[in-house]
A and B are shown apart, each in its own frame.
Chain A
Amino acid sequence: MSGPEPTSAKLVGTLTLAGLLSGLVLVGVFQATKPLIAANRAAAMQAAVTRVVPGAVQAASYERVGDKVQPSKVEVGAASDKPMAYAGLDKDGRVLGFAIPAEGPGFMDTIRLLYGYVPGKGTVIGMEVLDSRETPGLGDKIIKDADFVGNFKQLDSKPEIVGKKKGTKSKPNEIDFITGATISSKAVVKILNGSTAQWAQPLTTAAPPAGGKP
């Protein structure tokens, strides 16, 4: 680091060159990894859809525009500026239910989840937390507690889902909260109620996917 003081032109030139080379490398790596990352995201969402809509073997994208739900060109799992839902289809292309992503505030951070829903009947048929930072050992039971997750296998969302103290649920629209994770349990119920209220009506108008049966 000795020698004569470098000129301003040399400093600017060096930094410009460094920025240019870095930019080239970054764009190259980004382009190379982009299809893989998109494929991973789509595969993860496809798999999640088949888990929350029992019996489904594939998924088809739908988007909500105003109070209408229509088939979407956006790939399953890809980002979109419109609210998305994914139809869970059986091997003949029949719609068994819709998997709807929803999110809301949890105890620590936003909880993102996906739930299976049968329009018309208004039944929740599955729920999976996609992403959360709930407290390990307490709040993360919303993912790990089989009893809690089991609540969502056949749950009536009308008029709304109601959480009860563990072991006291009696009606088809009630679930058991997790002891010690009441805030996280309440958050899940609130997210589901908010989301079903938005989707219930529009989903009844959804057309079947291209080439499929209703």
Chain B
Amino acid sequence: MSQDNGPSPWTVLAAGLWRENPIFALVIGLCPTMAVTNTVTNALVMGVATLVVLVGSSTLVSALRKVTPGPVRITIYIIIIATFVSAVDWALAALLPAAHKQLGAFISLIVVNCIILGRAEAFAARNAVWPAVLDALGMSLGFTLAMLMISAPREILGSGTLLGHPLFGPRFEPWVIMVLPPGGFLTMATELAILAWWRQRLAARRAPAEAT
């Protein structure tokens, strides 16, 4: 395939993972992030559900971009996204009832996750199908990765388990606040601070190298 003008497929895919990571760089989609990162399993299922919705809706939005009239485009995007979310919701209830019960209303709420509508409007509506799919994949993998990074410390410290398996002996006293909402904010803030510091360091190291 020819990618003469425009970014390479890898650049598009990698943007969502690190440079434009939805949670750690763009800081969007935080409502589900706070709500479902109390266990790693929940974060993983939420990540996969979001991936299916994001890739599906971005593909359709991009494929239909030339026949979608401008004034009603947001309405069309919402119809597309809501259809995918409802389908994923039922599919999860049918195939993974336990996970569906755990995540409750948050699966339906993917419809208002601003990552999805954001990528439809900012990327899929302006690009061909193939880059739109890569962008959606990168963004949802970045979203899942960030949720895993937040959920692992929360589950380990707050429940003493990882993926449901007990890690410490019976004498471990769980740090309950970590699985409650404040623990989500504490964990995310700590990780945001560390990553911001790291990004700054990388930028500072690159700057003098470019000057010479």
CA of A41 to CA of B72, assembled, Å: 40
Q: Are A25 and B76 in contact (CB under 8 A)?
A: no
Contact residues in B for A198 (Cβ distance below 8 Å): none
Within 8 A of A (CB), among B57-88: 67-73, 75-76, 79-80, 82-83, 86-87
Q: Are B38 and A136 in contact (CB under 8 A)?
A: yes
Q: How far is the CB of B102 from the nearest CB of chain A, in Å?
A: 11
Query: What is the distance, in angstroms, from B174's C-beta to the closest C-beta of chain A?
Result: 6
Q: Quick one: given A29-B86, A33-B91, A135-B180, are A19 and B79 in contact (CB under 8 Å)?
A: yes
Q: A25-B87, A29-B86 are in contact. Are A18 and B76 (CB under 8 A)?
A: yes
Asked if B93 CB lies within 8 Å of chain A CBs, one says yes
List of A residues within 8 angstroms of B79 by Cβ: 15, 18-19, 22
Is B97 touching A40 in the complex (CB atoms < 8 A)? yes
Within 8 Å of chain B (Cβ to Cβ): is A146?
no
Proximity bits, B100-117, A CB within 8 Å = 1, else 0 = 010000000000000000
- Whether A11 and B71, one on each chain, are in contact in the complex, defined by CB atoms closer than 8 angstroms, is yes
> Are B176 and A138 interface neighbours, CB within 8 A?
yes
Q: Select B83's contact among A1, A15, A26, A40, beta carbons within 8 Å.
A: A26
Chain A residues near B179: list those with CB within 8 A.
Answer: 136-137
Contact, CB under 8 Å: A14 / B68: yes
Give how many A residues have a beta carbon under 8 Å from the other chain's beta carbons.
24
Is A211 positioned at the interface, with any CB of B under 8 Å from its CB?
no
Q: Mark A108-142, 1 if CB is under 8 A from B, else 0.
A: 00000000000000000000000100011110000
- Residues of chain A within 8 A (CB-CB) of B71 are 6, 11
The 8 Å CB contact of A26, one of B68, B87, B95, B174, is B87
Report the bound CA distance from A153 to B168 in whole Å. Answer: 30
- Measured CB to CB, the closest approach of chain B to A183, in angstroms, equals 16
Asked, given contacts A14-B72, A136-B179, whether A22 binds B93 with beta carbons under 8 Å apart, the answer is no
Shortest Cβ-Cβ A-B pairs, 6 listed: A137-B176, A36-B94, A33-B94, A33-B90, A6-B69, A40-B97
Interface residues of A (CB under 8 A from B): 1, 6, 10-11, 14-15, 18-19, 22, 25-26, 29-30, 33, 36-37, 40-41, 44, 131, 135-138
Instruction: A36-B94, A37-B90 given; name 9 further pairs at CB < 8 Å.
Output: A1-B70, A6-B70, A14-B76, A15-B72, A33-B94, A131-B101, A136-B159, A136-B179, A137-B174
